[in-house]
């Protein structure tokens, strides 16, 4: 099964073509920037891409266009547990070593520390 649509690249805002293919019970996403150019693996699959795929599957399901209950359930399960990959901006800040507490005293008397 193959479903195609256009959307806006979240990083650049440019229009792109998106394709979702299901083969051997696995979904694979590809993108391209212009018609008649080769498809490339999507560097990141976003929640919006999964939601668009689910919407397209639901519309095709009612028209009986080769979409099964299993297809819908699989994408709904993926969306239920979807967590975006952590980005540098939203990652937990690193602990400040100065605020970690008092320093441990040096080991006096040891030949390597004096």
Q: 14-73, pLDDT tens digit by residue?
A: 999 999 999 999 999 999 999 999 999 999 899 999 999 999 999 988 887 788 899 999
* Nearest Cα residue to 71 out of 53, 52, 84, 83: 53
Q: Say which residue, 75 or 99, is predicted with more confidence.
A: 75
Residue-level pLDDT at 85? 73
End-to-end, the C-alpha distance of the chain in Å comes to: 71
User: pLDDT-derived band of residue 100, with 50, 70 and 90 as boundaries?
Assistant: very low
Q: Alpha carbon 3 to chain centroid distance?
A: 18
Q: What is the pTM of this model?
A: 0.69
- Map out the domains of the chain as residue ranges: 2-85
Q: Say which residue, 78 or 112, is predicted with more confidence.
A: 78
Alpha-carbon distance of 40 to 72, in angstroms, equals 25
What are the helix (H) ranges across the chain?
Answer: 47-62, 69-81
Alpha-carbon distance of 12 to 6, in angstroms, equals 14
Q: Of 6-10, 86-90, 104-108, where does the model show the most confidence?
A: 6-10
Phi, psi of 49 (to 5 degrees): -65, -45
Helix, strand or coil, per DSSP, at residue 77: helix
């Amino acid at each position: 099964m193959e479903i195609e649509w256009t959307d806006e690249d979240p990083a650049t805002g440019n229009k792109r073509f998106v394709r979702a293919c299901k083969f051997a019970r696995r979904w694979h996403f590809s993108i391209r920037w212009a018609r008649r150019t080769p498809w490339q693996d999507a560097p990141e699959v976003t929640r919006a891409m999964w939601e668009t795929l689910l919407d397209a599957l639901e519309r095709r399901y009612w028209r009986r266009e080769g979409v099964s209950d299993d297809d819908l359930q699989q994408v709904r399960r993926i969306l239920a547990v979807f967590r975006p990959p952590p980005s540098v901006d939203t990652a937990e800040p690193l602990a400040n070593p100065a605020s970690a507490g008092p320093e441990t005293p040096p080991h006096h008397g040891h030949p390597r520390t004096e």
